[in-house]
Amino acid sequence: DAGITQSPRHKVTETGTPVTLRCHQTENHRYMYWYRQDPGHGLRLIHYSYGVKDTDKGEVSDGYSVSRSKTEDFLLTLESATSSQTSVYFCAISSSGTENEAFFGQGTRLTVV
Amino acid sequence: SQKIEQNSEALNIQEGKTATLTCNYTNYSPAYLQWYRQDPGRGPVFLLLIRENEKEKRKERLKVTFDTTLKQSLFHITASQPADSATYLCALGGYQKVTFGTGTKLQVIP
């Protein structure tokens, strides 16, 4: 498996609380992505990064922010969690953009109650 | 708006047969198309990429076709095995962006 680790793997949090999910890679890949996966919607891109401190929005970015201060770490923050953000979150990495294969992490199951 | 359609119903086939999964899309002109496999509780795993100027790509027992006129990709697994049971996702890509379908669940029956 590619060296990509997500933490935590599972989290239950209350509505209105901040939550940060971490993605750590050991592959030195330039691109990192955060997706959410929900039944009937497939994988949807939240935010992505194309380098340290370089990030951009995906199709479902509202309510989420990201930061990338080091090549190996990409953080996803829910500033004030809502029940609609209950989902499985996947981090992915790729070496040269979306045309290259993406390696996915194991996922984080987040439940907002 | 862009739309990717994969058969939402599970596909059940007998071991040894060829499984064929379909990915249709509308309002999209992708530069390439990818197929991923996803097992329960795990992240997707990349299988194949095919570019818009390629008609067919093969890898071991896997074959992908890409028809930009029909706006369709077919994914074939020959001599299917129970270990091939999983959900298969197609993803259409362009510059800096990939859009995933919802996936088709394949069940190979021994």
Question: How does residue A97 score in pLDDT terms, banded at 50, 70 and 90?
Answer: low
Return d(Cα B72, Cα B67) in angstroms, integer. 5
Find which of B59, B98, B99, B105 to mutate to test the A interface (most A CBs within 10 Å of its CB): B98
**pLDDT exceeds 90 at position B87:** yes
pLDDT category, A2, cuts 50, 70, 90?
low
CA distances from A50 to A60, A96, B23 (A): 18, 9, 28
Question: What is the per-residue pLDDT for B8?
Answer: 75
Per the CB < 8 Å rule, is A99 touching B101?
no
pLDDT tens digits, one per residue of B16-68: 999 999 999 988 888 889 999 999 999 999 999 999 899 999 999 999 999 99
Q: How confident is the model at residue A98 (pLDDT cuts 50, 70, 90)?
A: low
Q: Is B45 on the interface with A (CB under 8 A)?
A: yes
Q: Give the separation between CA B72 and CA B79, rounded to whole angstroms.
A: 23
End-to-end CA distance of chain A: 33
Least confident of A24-38, A96-110, B75-89: A96-110
Q: State how far the Cα of B82 lies from the Cα of B86, in Å rounded to an integer.
A: 9
Q: What is the pLDDT of residue A40?
A: 83
**CB atoms < 10 A from the CB of B59, how many?**
11
Mean pLDDT of A83-109: 90
Decide if A99 and B103 are in contact by the 8 Å CB cutoff. Answer: no
Q: Are A90 and B101 within 8 A, CB to CB?
A: no
pLDDT at B97: 74
Task: From B32, B28, B65, select the one nearest A102 (Cα to Cα).
Answer: B32
From residue A19, alpha-carbon distances to A15, A63, A78, A81, B58 in Å are 10, 11, 5, 7, 43
Q: Give phi and psi for B2, each to the nearest 5.
A: -65, 140
Region A75-88: mean pLDDT is: 97
Does A103 contact chain B (CB < 8 Å)?
yes
Burial class (CB within 10 angstroms; exposed 0-12, middle 13-18, buried 19+) of A10: exposed
Q: What would the pLDDT profile of A55-76 be if each residue is shown by its tens digit?
A: 999 999 999 999 999 999 999 9
Among A41, A56, A101, whose Cβ lies nearest the Cβ of B46? Answer: A101
